[in-house]
Structure 1
């Protein structure tokens, strides 16, 4: 859940803060984003992405031609100028912030980050910001999970290895390999038959390799188009 992987407390500034304060916090604390909070209420977030296009470093959007200024979107042009020239946090921050609750599952958090192409999201409880989760937090969770995995059993009888592989194949939607195409001898898995794609071939190899007791995998399969041509 979110409460298990979030970073807390969240470093934040108020709506009256200026850009210098935010930059100092980002640099001195090694952060990538800072929340903007007013009396506990989340207003927005200032991240590294918000500071990429700034007039001070010559990366602000170039001035448009008179034709574009005449027929372009006045609101968007003015907003871009504010973001690249203003020193007020409320002008620079991003107001659309993804939030989750303390009990939001990790898989939902990963999906939100991916779908929204976001680098982080905030955790709220009773409308108060209580934590922040970045992509790096998911990586750290992965590292911890892998370290806690039980070590592979050095010996497993061939019949149980085969049953586990077949059960794992059945639980997935992508395999085209049949039960008869899986043979296990002395911990060595032999895969026969065909496959529809290179991605499927590699995925089934990983599935077999990750099965407890497997010593090696011998892949004798061929692409289905070749298999059909040989019939």
Structure 2
């Protein structure tokens, strides 16, 4: 899927010369955490978010530095912070270089940028013009649609066919200890036998098997062998004498 397929088109925007108080009111009234800042020609010039409004003189939260730090950073940094905490127009407090993606960007790229830059939304831009916004909520809606459009089928075939499909899927995973795992299928219930060296592999194997069509249940007999001490931890389906 592409950004243009999941984005919110024609999002709420605000002008750069609008009062900061208006931006705050819109965000509260419309329950959004940020607004793209767009000029009269529709060009994206910035974004104002909740984070831009945390350091405000009205709240007494403006940043204060020790004298020696002001000397170290120089007057420019302190002047910039003063504008940010006292500015009354959106253009004075907004983030001027918002992170953007093209409408054709894949969702993998969108998520990579969001996680790496630790942001909640991305502006979708073409030729400098704002087309839409992709937020975490938009991604959740896309995920919900994917679940609804592709229900997990029950699957058909014999236990032997199901066993073969499971073994093929597991063999494709780089983290899978293929040589130490044995799969048995009885009436579409999968029994997992063998040993693992990392407890996280247990859950990954179970999730992988759950996603194979036709699986009715899983019984976990796997044992975890702690590599340093040799301690053996049995799976929930394995009785302890």
Common topology (TM > 0.5): yes
Residue of structure 2 equivalent to 1:89: 90
2:157 and 2:85 mapped to 1: Cα distance? 63
1:40 to 35, 38, 42: 42
Q: What is aligned with 1:164?
A: 165
Contact kept, 8 Å, 1:8 with 1:131, in 2: the verdict is yes
What per-residue deviation string (whole Å, max 9, x for no partner) do you get for residues 120-152 of structure 1?
001112221010011111111111111222243
Unaligned runs of 5+ in 1: none
Alignment of 1:63-102 (within 5 A): 63-102=64-103
Correspondence 1:6-45 to 2 at 5 A:
6-38=7-39, 39-45=41-47
Cα distance, 1:154 vs. partner?
6.3
The Cα of 1:178 is off from its aligned counterpart by 3.3
**SS of alignment partner, residue 16 of structure 1:** coil
Q: 8 Å contact 2:102–2:125 — kept in the other structure?
A: yes
The answer for the alignment partner of 1:223 in structure 2 is 224
Q: For residue 155 of structure 1, report the CA deviation from its aligned partner.
A: 5.0
Residue pairs, 1:192-203, within 5 angstroms: 192-203=193-204
User: Aligned equivalents of 2:107 and 2:62: distance in 1?
Assistant: 37
* Contact map agreement 2:180 2:194 (CA 8 A) in 1: no
| 1:18-70 deviation line (CA, Å, top 9, x unaligned) | 20221122122222111112222211100111112211122222x32333333
Conserved 8 A contact 1:177-1:193: no
Deviation string, structure 1 residues 58-101 (Cα, Å, up to 9, x no partner): 2222x323333333343222222211111121121112211111
TM-score by length of 1: 0.90
**2: CA distance, partners of 1:102 / 1:69:** 42
Moved over 6 A (4+): none
Distance 2:51 2:127 in 1: 28
Say if 1:147 and 1:178 are closer, same or farther in 2 by CA, change over 3 A: farther
Distance 1:190 1:112 in 2: 40
The number of aligned residues is: 228
